């Protein structure tokens, strides 16, 4: 059984707290209650520290309101994620590129998806749809949202 490091640290701090509280002999008389009080105080301290250290700054992450997923079809099979990212980065901020591969062979299937800033996506679609790339004519459009098609 694998014990996490944070659990071991918590237990060690609780034991140290119990020893300190037990050695004072003024307030706590039993070692069991000293351990319990030490564990509770460590739990409260760790919860306060973890809420302060994990900020709610999610402005760096793309959300559905400020990003759009774009379908890119008829890609050359030799194109990789970096190539496609460089191509779309000329027209705006690119968050992610996913090129689809065959499950059995692992070879690229010639299409993929690009997640871009919502403000930049119409320009990229307009500029790259029916554009020549690697001796092929790209098909670029806004991707269908699979959640919307399930509701319909």
Question: Does the pLDDT of residue 59 top 60, yes or no?
Answer: no
pLDDT tens digits along 5-32: 767 777 777 777 666 666 665 556 666 6
Q: Which two tokens stand for residue 139?
A: 């098909």
Q: What's the mean pLDDT when you consider all of the chain?
A: 79
CA–CA separation, 100 and 88 (whole Å): 17
The tokens 């990789």 sit on which residue? 80
How many CB atoms within 10 Å of residue 2? 3
What's the pLDDT at 62? 47
Residue closest to 131 by CA, chosen among 74, 70, 79: 74
Average pLDDT on 91-103 reads 94
How would residue 148 be classed by pLDDT, with cut points 50, 70 and 90? low
Convert 24-90 into a string of H (helix), E (strand) and C (coil): HCCCCCCHHHHHHHHHHHHHHHHHHHHHHHCCCCCCCCCCCCCEEEEEEECCCCCCCHHHHHHHHHC
- Band (pLDDT 50/70/90 cuts) for residue 102 is very high
Mean pLDDT across the stretch 85-105? 95
pTM over 0.85: no
Which pLDDT band holds residue 1 (cuts at 50, 70, 90)? very low
Q: Which CATH architecture has domain 67-142?
A: 2-Layer Sandwich (3.30)
More confident residue, 79 or 42: 79
For residue 132, what pLDDT band results from cuts at 50, 70 and 90? very high
């Amino acid at each position: 059984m694998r014990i996490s490091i944070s659990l071991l640290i918590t237990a060690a701090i609780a034991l140290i707290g119990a020893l300190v509280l037990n050695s004072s002999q003024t307030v706590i008389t039993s070692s069991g209650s000293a351990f319990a009080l030490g564990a509770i105080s460590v739990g409260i301290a760790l919860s306060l520290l973890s809420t302060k250290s994990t900020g709610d700054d999610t402005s760096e992450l793309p959300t559905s309101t400020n990003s759009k997923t774009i379908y890119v079809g008829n890609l050359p099979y030799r194109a990789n994620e970096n190539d496609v990212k460089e191509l779309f980065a000329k027209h705006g901020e690119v968050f992610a590129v996913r090129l689809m591969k065959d499950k059995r062979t692992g070879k690229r299937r010639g299409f993929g998806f690009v997640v871009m800033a919502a403000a930049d996506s119409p320009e990229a679609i307009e500029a790259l749809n029916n554009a020549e790339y690697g001796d092929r004519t790209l098909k670029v459009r806004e991707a269908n949202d699979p959640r919307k098609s399930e509701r319909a």
